[in-house]
Amino acid sequence: MDSIRICIVEDDERDALILQQALDRFADENDASIDAIVLRDGAEIVDNYPPDLDIVFLDIEMGGLDGLSAARAIRARDEEVIIFFVTNMIQFALEGYTVNATAYIVKPLRYPLFSAHMARAVQAIEHRKEHFVTLRSGREQVFVNSNKIMYVETSQKRSLVHTDANSIFCSEALQAIEKKLDSGQFFRVHASFLVNLAYVDTVTPKDVIVRGTAIPISKHRKRFFMKVLADYKGRFL
């Protein structure tokens, strides 16, 4: 994947160095490319927010703008960046969830736990990248980002692809479309329906709810589907 852009916001030079060394080790062990910068105060990242950030590591207790306040300002402009709090002030954990923090990394940093957090973060970053597939719609070839496909259904001997923005009629069978999509992300819940696990909100006794739409699930597929769904969602927690 592309280089992972990271910003460390830490006013303690030693703690910042420890985090940098942990990132270097993770990059070496996972053949990853990491581009990291270090800032010394929350106000620095708020006033000069670096473009295209993937991950921010925020100390909570800093001499200037604290990490929680900085995180609120960051969230106001960037809903997708992954935020990790690196702190010994675990009592603020609940407040951290208000800014959709991914996790708390408690000082002193323990590398095995840090590495596990980073692995999940990298998976989440890779997941939201654009992955285009080609679909046939009449005489046209349509390029669709598969991560934006919520579900696909059979419709009048054709297929109807529902994305988060619109719906596209395809001249291909559901089975043909299924072969083009990531089997780890899409699941055939019914002979007539294929769903993107990322968009599943909940599961009822008879249906899978995908962004408010109830989609029937076959009885003989449900047990395996629940296992696959749990494994998929667990990768991003």
- DSSP category for residue 213: E
pLDDT band of residue 100 (cuts 50, 70, 90) is low
d(Cα 149, Cα 142) in Å, to the nearest integer? Answer: 13
Token pair, residue 81, equals 């960046």
pTM of the model: 0.63
What are the φ and ψ backbone dihedral angles of 222, each rounded to 5 degrees? -65, -45
Beta strands (DSSP E) in the chain are 4-9, 34-39, 55-59, 82-87, 103-106, 132-137, 140-145, 149-155, 158-163, 167-170, 186-190, 193-196, 200-203, 207-210, 213-216
Residue 196 pLDDT greater than 60, yes or no: yes
Domains and CATH numbers, the chain: 4-127 (3.40.50.2300), 132-234 (2.40.50.1020)
Average confidence (pLDDT) over 103-107: 85
pLDDT band of residue 156 (cuts 50, 70, 90) is confident
CB contact at 8 A, 126 and 1 = yes
